[in-house]
Amino acid sequence: MANSKLTIKDIAKLAEVSSSTVSRVIDDNPRISDETKKHVSEIINKYGYKPQSAARSLARNRTNSVGIVIPHNDINIYSSSFFHEALKGICSTLAKQGYDVLISAGNPTELDAIKRLVSTSRIDGIILLRSTVNDMNVEYMYDNGFPFILIGTCLEHEDVYCVDNDNFKASFDLTDHIYKCGKKRIALIGGSGDSVFIIKRLNGYHKCLEQHNIPIDSELVKLGQSSEAYGYDTMRELLNNITPPDAVIVMDETTCVGVMKAINDSCLKIPEQVAVACFNEGAFTNYSKPAITTISLDFYELGARAATNLLMLLGGNKVKKGCCFVNYNLSIRESTRANSKVNYNNLKKERDE
């Protein structure tokens, strides 16, 4: 790597100027004459010189790096395209401004990883990919005044910079759609009650039922975890009740796999006897039979917006505090279609509308 040995002094010598001048040319400093800029730039390009990042960081007291916290033990975050889509949005946006992305992972806890990156001055800011209630990571950065953007929502502090889907409204819309399909006993399955986005969805669901004067039956709400097994067991249990649900909203695709199996094993028809809807679109929701109605979320945009806001923050610009929402989309498919073709003649009972 012959080129990497070249320093600013070498370029200065070759261009017959001082290293101050070379540095300013690289910075496109307006005080340098166009003539000098042109001449020095030619040398720089000819030799492929790039300033060494460590030296730069030390001198400028700025790393031009941003940390990303990868959740530990959160299979759910990887099972949808959330993680890599958000990552791509973040990286693309940051790279355009010459920022690099450091991944915090491998330390015993996420907080350890954050502390290491922060205390060794590796990064200028952080993007958090999710939040829980009373999130220790959020608290740490908030207390220390370290610049960060949360992809998600912070319930504890109003002045945390957040980028999120409007989970409340999305959940409201989805519930409303199902209600309009003629369903009255709508179950909610999957996800952890510790997750802020799940809480938001629960609230949207409640709000919608309230608005339609449907009594809230807490037996129909089964938060707990996200897994195929959980979806299966929980749905079986619900279907065995005296008054089973006539619709179900599932928090993620993996859990939905189990829910669908349970419904099939109970020989119930979708959507006639049980309508099904799910958050996050994917191969399963799109190609299952019937295809499943989803709320599809724009994860790339979530990452890109978070990165944009962080860059503004680091640049000393004003950023709106609190939540900034990204659009979502309600994709209606057969699993909730009121007028879905009925291919079976063994429907046990018809619903009342």
Give me the residues that bind its own copies (CB under 8 A), please: 1, 3-4, 48, 50-55, 57-58, 63, 65, 68, 70, 78-79, 81, 83-84, 87-88, 91-96, 100-103, 105-107, 113, 116-122, 144-146, 228, 253-254, 257, 261, 283-284, 287
Do the beta carbons of residue 232 and residue 258 sit within 8 Å? yes
Q: Which is nearer to its own copies, 119 or 343 (CB)?
A: 119
Residue 168 interacting partner from DNA, its own copies, none (CB closer than 5 to 8 Å by kind): none
Q: Does 19 bind DNA (CB under 7 A)?
A: yes
Residue 19 interacting partner from DNA, its own copies, none (CB closer than 5 to 8 Å by kind): DNA
Q: Which is nearer to its own copies, 90 or 208 (CB)?
A: 90
* Contacting residue, 13, 51, 184, 301, with DNA by CB under 7 A: 51
Q: Does 26 bind DNA (CB under 7 A)?
A: yes
Q: Does 36 bind DNA (CB under 7 A)?
A: yes
Q: Does 184 bind DNA (CB under 7 A)?
A: no
Place of tokens 């990042």: 53
Residue 197 interacting partner from its own copies, DNA, none (CB closer than 5 to 8 Å by kind): none
Q: Does 60 bind DNA (CB under 7 A)?
A: yes
Beta-carbon contacts of residue 34 (< 8 Å; ≥ 6 apart): none
Do the beta carbons of residue 143 and residue 156 sit within 8 Å? no
* Contacting residue, 42, 46, 58, 211, with DNA by CB under 7 A: 58
As measured in angstroms, the least distance from the Cβ of 151 to DNA is 30
Q: Which is nearer to its own copies, 62 or 180 (CB)?
A: 62
Residue 21 interacting partner from DNA, its own copies, none (CB closer than 5 to 8 Å by kind): DNA
As measured in angstroms, the least distance from the Cβ of 299 to DNA is 35
Determine the straight-line distance between the first and last CA of the chain, rounded to whole angstroms.
Answer: 74
Selected range binding DNA among 11-19, 183-191, 325-333, 336-344, rule: CB under 7 A: 11-19
As measured in angstroms, the least distance from the Cβ of 290 to DNA is 59
* Contacting residue, 14, 41, 56, 313, with DNA by CB under 7 A: 56
Q: Which is nearer to DNA, 57 or 81 (CB)?
A: 57
Residue 283 interacting partner from its own copies, DNA, none (CB closer than 5 to 8 Å by kind): its own copies
CA 314 to chain centre: 21
Q: Which is nearer to DNA, 6 or 268 (CB)?
A: 6
Residue 243 interacting partner from DNA, its own copies, none (CB closer than 5 to 8 Å by kind): none
As measured in angstroms, the least distance from the Cβ of 65 to its own copies is 8
SS (H, E, C) the chain: CHHHHCCHHHHHHHHCCCHHHHHHHHHCCCCCCHHHHHHHHHHHHHHCCCCCHHHHHHHHCCCCEEEEECCCCCHHHHHCCHHHHHHHHHHHHHHHCCCEEEEECCCCCHHHHHHHHHHCCCCCEEEECCCECCCHHHHHHHHHCCCEEEECCCCCCCCCEEEEECHHHHHHHHHHHHHHCCCCCEEEECCCCCEHHHHHHHHHHHHHHHHCCCCCCHHHEECCCCCHHHHHHHHHHHHCCCCCCCEEEECCHHHHHHHHHHHHHCCCCCCCCCEEEEECCCHHHHHCCCCCEEEEECHHHHHHHHHHHHHHHHCCCCCCCEEEEECEEEECCHHHCCCCCCCCCCCCCCCCC
The Cβ of residue 183 has, within 10 Å, a number of other Cβ atoms equal to 24
Within 77-106, which residues bind DNA (CB under 7 A)?
none
Interface with DNA by CB under 7 A: which residues?
Answer: 5-9, 17-24, 26-27, 29-36, 49, 51-52, 55-56, 58-61
